[in-house]
Protein backbone atom coordinates (compact mmCIF):
# COMPACT_ATOMS: atom_id res chain seq x y z
CA UNK A 1 0.00 0.00 0.00
CA UNK A 2 1.29 3.44 -0.81
CA UNK A 3 0.03 6.98 -0.44
CA UNK A 4 -0.28 9.58 -3.16
CA UNK A 5 -1.13 13.25 -2.96
CA UNK A 6 -3.21 13.92 -6.07
CA UNK A 7 -6.15 12.22 -7.77
CA UNK A 8 -4.09 11.80 -10.95
CA UNK A 9 -1.36 10.02 -8.98
CA UNK A 10 -3.97 7.75 -7.37
CA UNK A 11 -5.41 6.72 -10.72
CA UNK A 12 -1.96 6.19 -12.22
CA UNK A 13 -0.75 4.16 -9.25
CA UNK A 14 -3.96 2.09 -9.16
CA UNK A 15 -3.53 1.28 -12.85
CA UNK A 16 0.13 0.30 -12.60
CA UNK A 17 -0.13 -1.65 -9.35
CA UNK A 18 -3.61 -3.04 -10.07
CA UNK A 19 -4.69 -1.92 -6.62
CA UNK A 20 -7.35 -3.89 -4.77
CA UNK A 21 -8.34 -0.88 -2.65
CA UNK A 22 -8.38 2.85 -3.36
CA UNK A 23 -8.91 5.26 -0.48
CA UNK A 24 -10.02 8.82 -1.19
CA UNK A 25 -9.37 11.57 1.33
CA UNK A 26 -12.28 13.85 0.53
CA UNK A 27 -10.70 16.74 2.39
CA UNK A 28 -8.21 17.24 -0.46
CA UNK A 29 -8.87 20.58 -2.08
CA UNK A 30 -10.45 20.28 -5.51
CA UNK A 31 -11.10 16.55 -5.34
CA UNK A 32 -14.02 15.57 -7.58
CA UNK A 33 -15.15 12.23 -6.18
CA UNK A 34 -17.32 11.38 -9.19
CA UNK A 35 -14.47 11.97 -11.65
CA UNK A 36 -12.00 9.92 -9.60
CA UNK A 37 -14.44 7.05 -9.08
CA UNK A 38 -15.37 7.03 -12.78
CA UNK A 39 -11.70 6.94 -13.80
CA UNK A 40 -10.88 4.19 -11.31
CA UNK A 41 -13.84 2.08 -12.46
CA UNK A 42 -12.73 2.53 -16.10
CA UNK A 43 -9.29 0.95 -15.49
CA UNK A 44 -8.56 -2.43 -17.09
CA UNK A 45 -8.46 -3.89 -13.57
CA UNK A 46 -10.37 -1.49 -11.32
CA UNK A 47 -9.90 -1.63 -7.56
CA UNK A 48 -12.04 -4.22 -5.81
CA UNK A 49 -13.24 -1.48 -3.45
CA UNK A 50 -13.18 2.32 -3.31
CA UNK A 51 -13.39 3.85 0.14
CA UNK A 52 -13.76 7.56 0.91
CA UNK A 53 -13.42 9.47 4.15
CA UNK A 54 -13.70 13.02 5.42
CA UNK A 55 -14.43 14.84 8.68
CA UNK A 56 -18.08 14.39 9.67
CA UNK A 57 -18.71 18.11 9.22
CA UNK A 58 -18.06 17.76 5.46
CA UNK A 59 -21.54 16.36 4.90
CA UNK A 60 -21.75 17.51 1.27
CA UNK A 61 -18.45 15.83 0.36
CA UNK A 62 -19.48 12.60 2.08
CA UNK A 63 -22.83 12.64 0.26
CA UNK A 64 -21.10 13.35 -3.07
CA UNK A 65 -18.82 10.33 -2.54
CA UNK A 66 -21.85 8.13 -1.86
CA UNK A 67 -23.55 9.47 -4.98
CA UNK A 68 -20.36 8.87 -6.99
CA UNK A 69 -20.51 5.16 -6.15
CA UNK A 70 -17.82 4.71 -3.51
CA UNK A 71 -18.18 1.30 -1.89
CA UNK A 72 -17.79 2.74 1.60
CA UNK A 73 -17.95 6.32 2.82
CA UNK A 74 -16.88 7.02 6.37
CA UNK A 75 -16.37 9.94 8.66
CA UNK A 76 -12.77 10.50 9.70
CA UNK A 77 -13.42 8.91 13.09
CA UNK A 78 -15.18 5.94 11.53
CA UNK A 79 -12.31 5.49 9.11
CA UNK A 80 -9.76 5.34 11.93
CA UNK A 81 -11.93 2.94 13.95
CA UNK A 82 -12.77 0.61 11.07
CA UNK A 83 -9.77 0.59 8.71
CA UNK A 84 -8.20 -2.48 10.32
CA UNK A 85 -11.38 -4.51 9.90
CA UNK A 86 -11.88 -3.23 6.36
CA UNK A 87 -8.38 -4.32 5.37
CA UNK A 88 -8.86 -7.72 7.04
CA UNK A 89 -12.19 -8.23 5.26
CA UNK A 90 -10.72 -7.21 1.89
CA UNK A 91 -7.70 -9.49 2.24
CA UNK A 92 -9.89 -12.46 3.17
CA UNK A 93 -12.16 -11.91 0.17
CA UNK A 94 -9.34 -11.82 -2.41
- Nearest residue to 24 via CA among 78, 65, 83: 65
pLDDT in tens, 19-53: 899 999 999 888 999 999 999 999 999 999 999 99
Fold (topology level) of 7-93: Rossmann fold (3.40.50)
Total length of the chain: 94
Contacts of 37 (CB under 8 A, 6+ apart): 24, 50, 65, 68, 69, 70
Output the pTM of the full model. 0.89
What residues pair up with 21 in beta bridges, in sequence order? Answer: 49
Break the chain into its structural domains and give their ranges: 7-93
Asked if 42 contacts 88 with a C-beta cutoff of 8 angstroms, the reply is: no
**Residue 94 pLDDT:** 66
Q: Report the percentage of the chain scoring pLDDT > 90.
A: 68
Amino acid sequence: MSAVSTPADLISRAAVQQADLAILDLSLTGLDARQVVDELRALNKPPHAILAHAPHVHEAKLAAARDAGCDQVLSQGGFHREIGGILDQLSSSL
